[in-house]
Every structure is written in C-alpha cells, then in structure tokens.
Amino acid sequence: MNDNQYSIEVTNLKKRFGKHQVINDLSIKIPKGKITTILGFSGAGKSTLLKHFLGLIKPDSGEIYVDKLELSSLEDSDLIIFRRKFGMLFQYAALFDSLTAFDNIAFPIREFSDLNNQEIEEKVNSLIQAVGLESHSAQKFPDELSGGMRKRVGLARALALNPSIMLYDEPTTGLDPITTKMVNDLIKKTSDDGSDRMLTSIIISHDVKASLEISDYIAFLEKGEIVEYLPVEDFKKSENPNVLKFLTL
C-alpha cells in the first residue's frame, strides 16, 4: 500500500502513566476501507491506544496522523471538529437513559448539523433501517430495549454524522452468543455498506473467533507493543508464541 491508502499512521508512540509504561514505542498503519482488529489481553494498552486515535490522550513522544493530519498540531477547538471524523460504538452502547432510541440517534444530528426537523426524521429513520432496528422500537427508552437492540441504536447514533472511521470498543462484551453474532454481522454489514466511501473500521477486542471471521487485518498488542500485525489469513498461521497462546484460549 502507498501512504495515501492509510487512515491512521502511528510512529514510535510512547505513553507512561506514573511508573507504568502503557504504550511502548508502538508503530502501526491502519488501511482505509478495511476492518482492522486490535487483539490483546487485558491491560495490554488497547483502550489507551484508541484514546490516542481520538486525541483524548497526548503521547509522551511519537506521532499520530489521521487522514494525514498530525494530532499534536491541533488546538482543543480543532480537536472537537476533528473528532467528527469518528463514529464510536461503546462497550455498553452508552445511550442517554432519558432519551428514546429515536432521540438518541437524532442527538448528534441536532447538535452538529443544520438539518430541519423533517430532514432529521428522514435521516434517523434511514439509520434505523440501516442497522435493522424495528421501527416500533424507536420510541422506546434504553431500559426497554434488549442488549442487541441497544447496540443497534448505539451504532445508528455513531453513523449519524457519516464518519470516515468507525471505532468499536469491545463491542460484544457481556452479550450472549446469538447477540454476539448479530453485532459482528452488523459490523461487517456496516463496513460493506460504507465501502463506496472507504469507511475504515477499527475494533478493540478479545473475541478471537469473531475477529478471525470479520477482520481484514489483525494486530496483536502485548505490553504496549504491536508484536504481530498481518492480514487475517496470515495471522491465523502466526508462529509468534504469544499469539498462539491467545488463539488457543
């Protein structure tokens, strides 16, 4: 790949919290229009890396480029605009309890667009259809929805501003096998639906089986370092002992 085919480029990233070196001289290039999963044991630094992508954490050293934009050059006001590049599906959906499913999805559109009420309604209904949410569920509150439906609402909200990069933070944690498959199928469908605009998907996960099924590339993070980063079919054949241990769990 040439450099124009990468959404995110990280070079020699380091981050320490107190005496704990969380990210240790990490470098990675994440291709546009593909699904890249970052695997690793708990405490490996996966969530910290994700926060660096969003500019929520400043590195001690190293460089992070997102769509050729170097994050350390951005002021706080620029970062707010920059983050609209991203959609994020949080681990537990992180919906607003006081808003209906419809209003959760509409929230970012109302905040960050000039669409009128009719246009917002049309946009939200289109998103509801895209994520396979039943229309009658749109007027329910989060505590009236199943775990799978909350994930659908969270994904619809994440897609509301047409992001170029989708982030998924442990999207299947705490879900039963049937709902887990539904979420994974939804991630793959979202990537396929966004292929015409080269939607990039980045998943933080410890779900080996799902990662091997839906990812294009897999990176394995160990103690703040990328110790293996390969296309999924090559990753399955990895001889790295830490990867092998993880794959056989």
- 1 pLDDT more than 70: no
DSSP state of 75: -
CB 203 within 8 A of CB 37: yes
Averaged over 215-230, what is the pLDDT? 94
CATH number among 3.40.50.620, 3.30.360.10, 3.40.50.300, 3.40.50.10490, domain 3-247: 3.40.50.300
90 vs 63, higher pLDDT? 63
Q: H-type helices in 113-146, by residue range?
A: 117-130
The tens digit of pLDDT for each residue in 71-130 reads 988 888 899 889 999 999 887 678 999 999 999 999 999 998 999 999 999 999 999 998
Q: CA–CA separation, 11 vs 241, rounded Å? A: 25
Q: CA–CA separation, 229 vs 121, rounded Å? A: 42
Phi first, then psi: give them for residue 63, nearest 5 degrees. Answer: -130, 145
- 182 pLDDT more than 90: no
For β-strands 165-169 and 86-89, DSSP reports them as: parallel
Averaged over 29-47, what is the pLDDT? 92
Q: CA–CA separation, 203 vs 36, rounded Å? A: 6
pLDDT band at 3 (very low <50, low <70, confident <90, very high): low
Which uninterrupted H or E stretch holds 227? strand 225-231
pLDDT band at 208 (very low <50, low <70, confident <90, very high): confident
pLDDT at 91: 74
- 2 pLDDT more than 70: no
Q: Where are the domains of the chain?
A: 3-247
Q: Which of 76, 69, 75 is nearest to 8 (CA)?
A: 69
pLDDT at 63: 95
Q: Is residue 228 helix, strand or coil? A: strand
